[in-house]
Amino acid sequence: YEGRHESHSTMSKALSSLGLIVVDSNYRHGDINPHPGAQHDLRAVCRDVCRRHPGLPLGLAGSSSGGFLALALAAEKPENVSKFAFCIALCPVADPLARYQYLETCAKAGSDEHSQMVVLGRYGVSLTPSRALAMMKMQMSYFGDEGKMEVAAKGVLGGAGSGTPTILVIGSADA
């Protein structure tokens, strides 16, 4: 699995129409590039943009796992990268461990013939057990274990004071 730059062409076009230069990028994901590999990929993209366009304001945007990565980069303030002008996180996986635990609950509920709404805390989406299991497998292949998911969440959620203006768009679906 790879994060695909083509997945948000509508958002990229909208940001571009506002006069922003948009750099869409891919990142490697899963067992071929375990955590924090995708973050390293995107940090390298940011460094390259800053090197090629010094002084140009740089922002981050991503959804789901890409939203997690945008929040993580904003929180870490990478070396040789100018301060981020903004961060847009669409339905981010801000707490990978909580999401994984939620997916475990979904995997045990219902049948693959009908997706079933499962609510855990304040989080609920409709997933079939097989879809939940596939998402769990992908997430575990990236993080490796639940302890790394917990540490990653602390890095993202603990970085709220990074000084980067951030908007979180939280919807009801993350599939």
Q: Where are the beta strands (DSSP E) in the chain?
A: 2-3, 27-28, 58-63, 84-90, 116-120, 123-127, 166-169
pLDDT averaged over every residue in the chain: 81
- Please name the residues in contact with 137: beta carbons below 8 A apart, sequence gap of 6 or more: none
DSSP state, residue 110: S
Each residue's pLDDT tens digit, 70-84: 998 888 877 777 778
pTM of the predicted structure, to 2 decimals = 0.81
Alpha-carbon distance values, 112 to 42, 75, 131, 136, 148 (Å) = 35, 38, 8, 16, 30
Report whether 109 contacts 91 (CB < 8 A): no
Each residue's pLDDT tens digit, 26-50: 787 777 888 888 888 998 999 898 8
